[in-house]
Amino acid sequence: MRWRLSPGMVIDGFVLQENLGTGGMAQLWAVSREGEATPLVMKIPMLIDSDDPLPIVCFETEQMIMPRLTGPHVPRFVATGPLDPMPYIVMERIPGESLKERLDDCPLPWPEVVAIGAKVAHALHDLHLQHVIHLDIKPSNVMIRETGEAVLIDYGFARHERLPDLLAEEFREPFGTTPYMAPEQVLQDRADPRSDLFALGVMLYFFLTGERPFGTPRGGQIRRRLWRDPVPPRALAPDCPPWLQEIILRCLEVDPDERYATAAQLALDLENPEQVRLTERAERLERDSGVKTFRRWLKARKAKALEAPNIAGHLSRAPIVLVAIDLSPGGEDLAEALRMMIGRILSIEGEARIACVNILKTSRLAVDILEDEEGRSLHVQRLIQLRHWAASLDIPKERITFSVLEAHDPAAALVDYARHNNVDHIVIGARASSALRRYLGSVSSRVVAEAPCSVTVVRTPTDRRPETGPEASA
Amino acid sequence: MLIAILTDIHGNREALSACLAHARMLHVDRLVFLGDYVGYGADPAWVVDTIRGLVDQGAVALLGNHDAAIDGSDADMNSVAQEAIRWTRNQLGSEQRRFLAGLPLVHEEGNVLYVHANGYAPDNWDYMSGPMEAIRHFSRVDAHITFCGHVHVPMLYHMSTTAKVGTFSPVANNEIPLLPTRTWLAVIGAVGQPRDGVAAANYAVFDTAHQTLRYLRVPYDTAAAASKVRAAGLPEKLALRLEQGR
């Protein structure tokens, strides 16, 4: 099987157009096929002249996983060919360059780093929801669509929770790109979606400072990241805001439990800097002391991988729950009922992140007066009330956010917020039925109909009673 | 073409009926039975008659060790299995016995092999119960894909081009591509006596066009099947197994 590929050759109906490059494990060709309007790319693994099984196993892994992926954050799968006459995968060609091209401009201004981070975090969450961990997140594997979404490419090292893990079976050594590999990957645990958050943290650090947090280690040196913490980004990029350092260092935590629970939660922080809870991480300007490092080294000597592939389970334990709180007078009972429901959810889903949202209704026509007589901004007032509502729930600060959305259409605003922030569950109160409500329609029923996720509608105990007022008995 | 693969029915009418109904719902084109129609369960005659009818309509049915023991020796069996076989012999008429005795050990379609226990010595009933056994199979059998039963627990073994063998515990209702670059040994779990702690019946559907395999679990009336086992005076352990799936 010795193929010399050249432009014009036809493989299974695909016409080779241009060699886009040859990597260590595969050749990439721009191809076209009759009836396909979009540009395509064919990936052909380098199986020739090699005793190394890695290219073939990576190819098999991609061949298994890619056809199952959907959505804007992955290249659209088109076709795959068996070994005979020639192995290949054909997929959508994403126009433009990968983020690797941006490395020449490093360090990048921090707002750009944040924007990249949020895009990749959204893409990762979408991938994790499809039961896949990428395990090789790095600039050359991220492309940005013209429409703005990040696209994750190259699934050669990836792991699908519901398919055999061919790499783990074939090799007894860690896989990935050494500067980006999470500590648990070094220990050969290929089952934790938070490994991708670590790699994203490395990438953001690199873009921000122009340096890799753990250098480019070789051989046994890759274990160093189990105990040696990186130089804090602010020491290298003084204009980096403390909250961004907080986010990046949290991604780079050795213990996955200390990182963000999900990529969606990371995206939420990157897009809401004012909500990031600052810890000692934000203030650090130098690496940990020798004693602290030595303690971690002692611990790391015994570290072993925990194999528990449960991506879906992990994501479902750390949902983002949006609670829509109506703060208008007379709604105290409902606010209390909502609080009880959130308490119940927290007792089951311990890592849940609660997004408290209040809608400040603006009218469509008039210019709104958003300050009351004393000149206090209504917006700020509402935020204070939201915090008061949540105080007794005693949720750790890093797992609760407060937002006041100004909107003329409350239901649409809630649904938009849920969609953009990967919300898993909306909890919303419904007021008792009344003639006015029947006429105007209810926000909760529209949210139920239009939300991209599960919705729980909460009623107060009094509303559950049959109507006994004079109206009902008349 | 969709091929439903069912094995180790063991006289369990409720489980077989549920799986056949499920397979019909999926519009499968063909049925392949990997053996062990009798033994353990309370409805061996009904099951054998049903399989016979399906074979007349084009289904493939292979011989299992319990089927072979009806007219042969039960000396290799444990005491519970022996007791069940001796009870079963009295339940079957001569035609049913003749049908079982005439079943083939293997069925081949291109590079796909169907067999009850293992591919290298189908009549010695060696179990494919772990990666070491799978290696023995892979080293002696050329088939690209082998389907077997006999173990009662679903499992998927695969061997790479460098002869590394992997073990995968399949998730139900999930398409697994059987890549052409590897050799595959798919152990299908039991229809009539699951043993992995899940009481629901096992079977699998092989999609020949896409070369994908889907392991399936079908809940059935275990209480009815277990109470029939008790009413027949078969060992209590056999009734409990159905209720607990282990």
Q: What's the pTM?
A: 0.83
| Whether residue A18 has pLDDT greater than 80 | yes
Residues 6+ apart with CB under 8 A from A137: A120, A124, A152, A180, A196, A199, A200, A203
Q: What is the CATH number of domain A319-471?
A: 3.40.50.620
Return the residue in B160, B175, B212, B213 with the most chain A beta carbons within 10 A, the one to mutate for interface testing.
B160
> Cα separation of A265 and A108, whole Å?
24
pLDDT category of residue B240 using cuts at 50, 70 and 90:
very high
Q: Which letter, b or e, does each residue of A186-225 get, where b requires 16 or more Cβ atoms within 10 Å of its Cβ?
A: bbbbbbbbbbbbbbbbbbbbbbbbebbbbeebeeeebbbb
Interface contact flag, B180 A169, Cβ < 8 Å: no
* pLDDT score for B109: 95
Residues 6+ apart with CB under 8 A from A416: none
Which residues of chain A make contact with B175, given a CB cutoff of 8 A?
Answer: 68
Q: What structural domains and CATH numbers belong to chain B?
A: 2-244 (3.60.21.10)
Q: What is the pLDDT of residues B154-165, one digit of tens each?
A: 999 999 888 889
76-105 of A, contacting B, C-beta below 8 A: 82-84, 87
**Chain B: residue whose CA lies nearest to A87:** B181
B158 touches chain A (CB under 8 A): yes
Q: How many residues does chain B have?
A: 246
Choose the closest CB to B162 out of A53, A84, A161.
A53
CA dihedral B90, B95, B100, B103 (to 10 degrees): 170
Strand partners, A113: none
What CATH topology corresponds to A99-314? Transferase(Phosphotransferase); domain 1 (1.10.510)
Task: Identify whether the C-beta of residue A405 lies closer than 8 Å to the C-beta of residue A358.
Answer: yes
Q: What is the pLDDT of residues A104-162, one digit of tens each?
A: 999 999 999 999 999 999 999 999 999 999 999 999 999 999 999 999 999 999 999 99
Q: What is the pLDDT of residues A247-281, one digit of tens each?
A: 999 999 998 999 999 999 999 999 999 989 999 99
Interface confidence (ipTM) of the complex: 0.84
Q: Where are the domains of chain A?
A: 10-92, 99-314, 319-471
What CATH topology corresponds to A10-92? Phosphorylase Kinase; domain 1 (3.30.200)
For residue B157, the distance in angstroms to the closest alpha carbon of chain A comes to: 9
Domains A99-314 and A319-471 share a fold: no
pLDDT category of residue A1 using cuts at 50, 70 and 90:
very low
Return the residue in A66, A170, A173 with the most chain B beta carbons within 10 A, the one to mutate for interface testing.
A170
| Residue that has been written with the tokens 């489980």 in this structure | B15
B42 touches chain A (CB under 8 A): no
Range from A128-132, A231-235, A332-336, B34-38 carrying the lowest mean pLDDT: A332-336
Task: Identify whether the C-beta of residue B48 lies closer than 8 Å to the C-beta of residue B99.
Answer: yes
> Cα separation of A340 and A268, whole Å?
24
**Percentage, residues of chain B above pLDDT 70:** 100
> Cα separation of B84 and B193, whole Å?
13
For chains A and B, count residue pairs whose Cβ atoms are closer than 8 Å.
53
